[in-house]
Amino acid sequence: MSDTTFTPELEAPSVPLMPLSDLIPYALLTALLAIILFYFVGAEEGATSVFPGMTMHEWVHDARHLLGFPCH
């Protein structure tokens, strides 16, 4: 057989899905929303507080410990 190394099971044509500029608005919005969500799961009512009290901290308390975020 020939010595070409193209393996259709593994390789796709090296064509990007889309120009990066098309991705930017989606990336910005998703990153912003994700950071807010990560903050409320991982850090709210710990070192910093947006809302007063500890209810939110207590609600996700176990997830915070288990996911490895700093907690008490």
Partner 1 sequence: MDSQKIVRGLLIRGMLAGLAAGVLMWAFGYLFGEPHIRDAIAFEESISPPSNEAPLVSRTMQESLGLLTGTVVYAIAAGGVFALVFAAVFGRVGHARPRVTAATLGLVAFVVIVFVPFLKYPSNPPAVSLDETIGFRTRTYFVMLLLSLVAAFAALRIGRDAVKRLGTWNGTLVAVAGYVVLAGIASVLMPAVKEMPEGFSPELLYSFRLSTLGTHAVLYATLGLGFGALAERWISQVRPAAAGTYRTSSLSAGAPHS
The first and second tokens of residue 64, run together, are: 């915070």
Asked if 1 touches partner 1 (CB under 8 A), the answer is yes
In the list 38, 49, 50, 51, the residue contacting partner 1 (rule: CB under 8 A) is 38
The first and second tokens of residue 54, run together, are: 């500890």
Q: Kindly give, in sequence order, each residue whose CB lies less than 8 Å from that of residue 64, ignoring residues fewer than 6 positions away.
A: 41, 42, 46, 57, 71
For the bound state, the minimum distance from the C-beta of residue 18 to partner 1, rounded and expressed in Å, comes to 3
The four Cα atoms 37, 43, 46, 47 give a dihedral, to 10 degrees, of -120
Asked if 4 touches partner 1 (CB under 8 A), the answer is yes
Binding site for partner 1 (CB under 8 A): 1-2, 4, 7-20, 22-23, 26-27, 30-31, 33-34, 37-38, 40-43, 46-48, 53-55, 58-72
